[in-house]
Chains A and B, each alone.
Chain A
């Protein structure tokens, strides 16, 4: 792993990477897998209920024609799968010893990076609601800031939110302890 793009300080280390739970990506992957079989399902339904619709005089080699369109369909699904994967994988929070770096990959042409220092954090709240989130241990996490601009960090369906909350609080407390022992000198 190389975190060059995050422009970390020399003494700064990434403690934890926070992503959405895998179920978020898996549900879209299952939908795409189902879509891969959709042409066969539609064909079967037509054959059962409206066989007359299939009596079209198609020119040339019909199986080759179907194979061609099916490959195009699979390519579109394959591309869609990796667009979803990119959105899932690159939408991440890096919790370092000094701050939270939130990388928001909203779409493939929509990306933003924000920083939040631990001394600005006021509260971290988690929300695990529903049967599946409780069973698989995922939920929403919100980091509230104390500044005037009051920008909150929010991520939905985070895997193991309690652990994330604990790490953020422990780093927050560590920074607080350093301040009590002696605040950093102003230059």
Chain B
């Protein structure tokens, strides 16, 4: 018995507008931001409590905060341009 050939839909037919839109992206950013804040708080607590006020810890903390702020700003701007 000959079976009819299976037709797989091409990827170019897939539309993702239902799943990728500004509110969804904002929600992803918000969830990730909350997760990031929790882990960052734990890290900063460790650095403050056990870092022995070391110069390297202060440099690391500053670098971490500045780059994080920059990347969050860029991702927010990316959403606004989306």
The chain A residues found within 8 Å of chain B, CB to CB, are: 1-3, 5, 52-61, 64-65, 67-68, 71-72, 74-76, 78-79, 82-83, 85-86, 89-90, 103, 105, 108-109, 111
Majority secondary structure of chain A interface residues (helix, strand, loop or mixed): helix
What are 6 A-B pairs at a CB distance below 8 A? A53-B11, A56-B11, A57-B14, A72-B29, A79-B68, A111-B46
- CB-CB under 8 A from B52, the residues of chain A are 1-3, 5
The chain B residues found within 8 Å of chain A, CB to CB, are: 10-17, 20-22, 25, 28-29, 32, 36, 39-40, 42-43, 46-47, 49-54, 56-57, 60, 64, 67-68, 71-72, 74-75, 78-79, 81-82
The residue in chain A whose Cβ has the minimal distance to the Cβ of B15 is A57
Distance from A16 Cβ to chain B, minimum over Cβ atoms (Å): 14
- CB-CB under 8 A from A68, the residues of chain B are 25, 29, 75, 78-79, 82
Distance from B29 Cβ to chain A, minimum over Cβ atoms (Å): 7
- CB-CB under 8 A from B82, the residues of chain A are 60-61, 64-65, 68
Contact status A56-B67, CB under 8 Å: no
Cβ-neighbour of B43 out of A72, A82, A103 (below 8 A): A82
Contact status A108-B46, CB under 8 Å: yes
Contact status B12-A82, CB under 8 Å: no
Q: How far is the CA of A53 from the CA of B79 in the complex (A)?
A: 24
The listed residue with most B CB atoms (<10 A of its CB), out of A3, A67, A68, A86, is: A68
Q: How far is the CA of A79 from the CA of B81 in the complex (A)?
A: 25
Contact status B78-A64, CB under 8 Å: yes
Distance from B19 Cβ to chain A, minimum over Cβ atoms (Å): 9
Contact status B79-A56, CB under 8 Å: no
- CB-CB under 8 A from B39, the residues of chain A are 79, 83, 108
